A and B are shown apart, each in its own frame.
Chain A
Amino acid sequence: MKTTELLFSGFGGQGILFAGKVTAYKGLTENKNVSWLPSYGPEMRGGTASCSVIISDDAVGSPIVSHPDCLIALNLPSLDKYESAVKTGGVIIADSSLIERKVERTDVKVYYIPATKLANENNIPTLANMIAVGQMLKALNEYNEDTVLQALKKVVSAKHSDMLDVNLKAVKIGYEY
């Protein structure tokens, strides 16, 4: 029985909640139990956004992730705030194009990926979040193109179906990095 607790964090506008939602839907597509909980409090007004996602073979207990197995930090304040919370042996995905410092912890696995830079280079400047998701799925050994696509189909609204391919492309860029 496996439970994976994820914490996505970054600036408002980076697509933190969206990335969490795709990840949750991917779990649902794979018949897992999932939960998704956004921050909606005063910290949101300060410009940062975060969300807790849990993917589990068992029923999900508390939906609040305070000690993630994996932290996806898309800006420096997020890494500063949550680095110490990650479980021993856990994973940190850091957007190295926006976070200049290195992770100080030595008991976690760190994957630096210049997600924002890659997004700009590939002419998909709004999709650094999905590039980070691709890297995260690689780090957790959870990549599955089929279920990622199914999840994207659930989250990307029919009106914006042209965005499906670019989202998938972004995930692939992150996976292949």
Chain B
Amino acid sequence: MQNKVLMKGNEAIAEAAIIAGCRHYFGYPITPQTEVAAYMAKKMPKIGGTFLQAESEIAAINMVYGVASAGLRVMTSSSSPGISLKSEGLSYLAGADLPAFVVNVQRGGPGLGGIQPSQSDYFQATKGGGHGDYRMIVLAPASVEEMASLTVKGFELADKYRMTSMILADGTMGQMMEPVDLENLKVSKAPEKPWATTGTKMQRKHNIINSLYLKPEELEKGNIERYERYKIVEENEAMYEEYLMDDAEICVVAFGIAARVSKNAINEARSRGIKVGLIRPITLWPFPKAPFDKAKEHIKTFISTELSMGQMIEDVKLATDCKANYVLCNRVGGMIPSPEEVLEQIIKQNGGNK
């Protein structure tokens, strides 16, 4: 307990980013992620870093583009409507193969929506949002501890693959406090970035950071190379947690806060003798295939618990060849399914046997 302090998820992200070597933060306030910016505003000036509240989300993401071009660890954070504004920048970052770290503490949508927790930006994060063929590494923490550890991981993966990695959290994860031990966070050194625009000192050719390729042959080549890199990410970086899956006949699939709620329901169902387990994707892209390869052999029904109208459920179907039964257990608009609602669905799928 000695090293553990209580921190809000948003603050844990900010402190972990600093530990990971991020010294440049650009943002624009929006509930429920404002604590990230507030923490950075307080800390960055004290450690020689830059905190800048930009004039808009669009300005902030383009400042990220600038610092990333210079090869430094950089981040921005926002919530759903703000991420929509940043999406043009996310596409440009991908087109220029720049490493960046972005946080989305989701709130209900569409439009300005509300300020309560949501997971309805799953499609936006995992399938694009900006234009063009590109991917982001999408990390879905389910505790304050993971808000911190996945932030470090996010910076490392971004550098390793020259991609944007995004934390896809929600209002609950951002606002809740849990014990976290930041002193034991392990950070690997940032790799060399020979491509960065750091000044030639007249000793090398210019590095050019750009996403405009008017010759289609060149643009096609860049896209294909990028997707070869994405394939390596898919093969190596998928993360997930399995819970009570060995003898399960029903499988709940959930991430973030939905996974926390589902665990309560699963524990209750288990105490009633129902064989149910959980697969919790930790990376939403790459979507973890391995646990589903195993699960599809013995699972009759997958229950996708989401704070959306059913977005991740499509990936669950794809990962299991659409061969099982699929049920959506959801609440939207800032509502969160209760453990009782998930339990009710589990019981229903168990043939109504309580």
Contacts and interface: CB of A to CB of B under 8 A. Distances in A.
Interface of A: 21, 24-25, 28-29, 31, 33-38, 40-42, 60-64, 66, 154
A133 to B, nearest CB: 16
A34 B179 contact: yes
Contacts of B257: 62-63
4 closest pairs, A vs B, by CB?
A61-B264, A36-B177, A37-B176, A62-B261
A61 B177 contact: no
A25 B32 contact: no
B176 A61 contact: no
B243 to A, nearest CB: 11
Q: What's the dominant secondary structure at chain B's contact region?
A: mixed
Contact of B178 (A31, A34, A40, A66): A34
B51 to A, nearest CB: 21
9 contacts: A35-B176, A36-B6, A36-B176, A40-B115, A42-B114, A61-B264, A64-B172, A66-B338, A154-B6
Contacts of A33: 179
Interface string B263-280: 110010000000000000
B311 interface: no
B260 A63 contact: yes
Given A62-B260, A64-B336, A25 B6 contact: yes
Contacts of A37: 172, 175-177
B261 A60 contact: no
Q: Which of A33, A34, A35, A42 lies at the interface centre, i.e. has the most chain B CB atoms within 10 A of its CB? A: A35
Nearest to B171: A40
Contact of A24 (B31, B177, B267): B177
Interface string B1-36: 100111000000000000000000000000110000
Interface in B167-195: 171-172, 175-179
Q: Which of B116, B178, B264 lies at the interface centre, i.e. has the most chain A CB atoms within 10 A of its CB? A: B178
Interface in B232-274: 257, 260-261, 263-264, 267
A19 B97 CA distance: 48
A61 B6 contact: no
Nearest to B261: A62
Contacts, number: 65
A21 B261 contact: no
A94 to B, nearest CB: 25
B49 interface: no
B7 to A, nearest CB: 10
A61 B257 CA distance: 9
B313 to A, nearest CB: 21
B334 interface: yes
Contacts of B339: 61-62
B179 A28 contact: yes
Contact of B1 (A28, A35, A38, A41): A28
Contacts of A154: 5-6
Given A34-B179, A36-B6, A42-B115, 7 more contacts: A35-B177, A36-B177, A36-B178, A37-B175, A62-B263, A63-B178, A63-B260
A16 to B, nearest CB: 14
Contacts of A41: 114-116, 334
Contacts of B176: 35-38, 63
B1 A29 contact: yes
Contacts of A35: 176-178
A33 B4 CA distance: 11
Nearest to A44: B115
